Structure 1
Amino acid sequence: MSIVLHGSFTSPFVRHCRVALAQSGLHWAFEPTSSADATAVTPAMRVPFLRADGRLFTDSSVILQYVRERQGRRFLADLEDAQLYHLANAALDSAVNLFLLSKNDRTPDNTPYLKRQRDRVVAAISALADAQRPDDGENDAALRIACFVDWARYRKLYEIEQPSLLSSLARLNQDDAFASTHPSRSDTAP
């Protein structure tokens, strides 16, 4: 049986999948793949995507669910976890889009819709900082939040200085599966 994760080293969505796979004990491989290359393979036209069991999984959340189920675990243990995971995911989607569009001079300063996206990210950061959340290194809500925070800091997009977010990130960085996948470590394969 072959499990191959395709994606970029800097994508926070790919990072979360890499962490989950590293924690899983499953045999898997990582294939660096650009978003441009993904357009020929997946209708989602983005990374990550996963080939496993003769199937193609085209979204990080579905990939995580597949990995956790293979471990005999539930993906997102309860509604509170789901709420935090999806809030972080929405903020991350907006932040990634803002980052990519800024490369083409599309910014919140000149596009009202993008201002709303920026406001969503800022509001989500505040809500995530105030939320009660687990710091368990295998909790997917905590991991998604940490991947978001670390990526936003790496890209220098947002001043994220909330002590609760930084202390959670520091705890997760003690886990080698998380720390070894930091976007700056693009030379490290799983």
Structure 2
Amino acid sequence: MKLFGSYTSPYVRHCRIVLEMNRQDHQLIPVDFSASASQSPTKRVPYFEHDGVKLHDSAAIIRYLRSLAEQPFCEDPADFDLFCMVSTAMDTEINLFLLERDGLAPEQSPYLQRQRDRIESILADLNQRELPSEGPYTDGQLRLACYLSWAQFRQRLDIHQWPALQQFLASLNNQPWFANTHPALS
């Protein structure tokens, strides 16, 4: 199995966590913006190859890895909704992060401010939910943890304003398979 991506990507991290939790033999092949732009039709990471199977989205990769291990992927509609909500927040946050690196900020555009508001709305909703303090964790919950950890790593949010999310992330930070994939360690 070959997983192509960056150590800092929360999408790649989610794939790495599933691979590690399932002890699936794999190789992480680091790629940057230019490599992903030329090697993947989505022009982003992760992408994946295994036994002739090529996948280009983290959700497809995770679903594939789960099926190989005979495990469910988002086994109920509520978890799939959580997975999708977090993916929306994460996509939006990453886009804002990259746009700000190019000098474009939410304060400059009503559209970008709407995107910032979208993230805040999702975080407020998620902070009201009952989240586990120990595993096993679902893929929706793992996606949330990867997002929160990445957002803190990139200094995109102050987790203290979201106490339930802060407590949830703290519980996962104690898991070796989660802590060992943190971007600061790579």
Distance 1:123 1:160 in 2: 14
Residue 133 of structure 1: how far off its partner (Å) = 3.6
Q: SS of the counterpart of 1:39?
A: helix
Q: SS of the counterpart of 1:178?
A: helix
Distance 1:182 1:160 in 2: 16
Residue 183 of structure 1: how far off its partner (Å) = 1.3
Checking the alignment, whether the CA contact within 8 Å between 1:136 and 1:142 is kept in structure 2 is no
Residue 80 of structure 1: how far off its partner (Å) = 0.8
Question: Which of 21, 24, 27 is the equivalent residue of 2:22?
Answer: 24
- Aligned residue pairs total 184
Higher helix share: 2
Checking the alignment, whether the CA contact within 8 Å between 1:18 and 1:181 is kept in structure 2 is yes
Cα deviation per residue 1:106-160 (whole Å; 9 max; x = unaligned)? 1101122111111111111111111234453541111110111111111111122
User: % of aligned pairs identical?
Assistant: 36
Query: Does structure 1 residue 165 correspond to structure 2 residue 165?
Result: yes
Q: Report 1:3-152 matches (<5 A).
A: 3-134=1-132, 135-152=134-151
Cα deviation per residue 1:79-106 (whole Å; 9 max; x = unaligned)? 1101111111100000000000001111
The residue type equivalent to 1:157 in the other structure is R
Higher alpha-carbon deviation: 89-98 or 19-28: 19-28
Higher alpha-carbon deviation: 165-174 or 60-69: 165-174
Distance 1:98 1:58 in 2: 22
Checking the alignment, whether the CA contact within 8 Å between 2:7 and 2:183 is kept in structure 1 is yes
Q: SS of the counterpart of 1:31?
A: strand
Distance 2:136 2:72 in 1: 15
Distance 1:57 1:148 in 2: 21
In the superposition, relative to structure 1, how do residues 66 and 52 fare at CA in structure 2: closer, same or farther (>3 Å)?
A: same
The residue that corresponds to 1:179 in the other structure is 179
Checking the alignment, whether the CA contact within 8 Å between 2:131 and 2:168 is kept in structure 1 is no
Distance 2:25 2:63 in 1: 17
Q: TM-score if structure 2 supplies the norm length?
A: 0.95
Checking the alignment, whether the CA contact within 8 Å between 1:36 and 1:46 is kept in structure 2 is no
The residue type equivalent to 1:144 in the other structure is R
Q: TM-score if structure 1 supplies the norm length?
A: 0.93
Provide the alpha-carbon RMSD of the alignment.
1.2
The residue type equivalent to 1:154 in the other structure is F
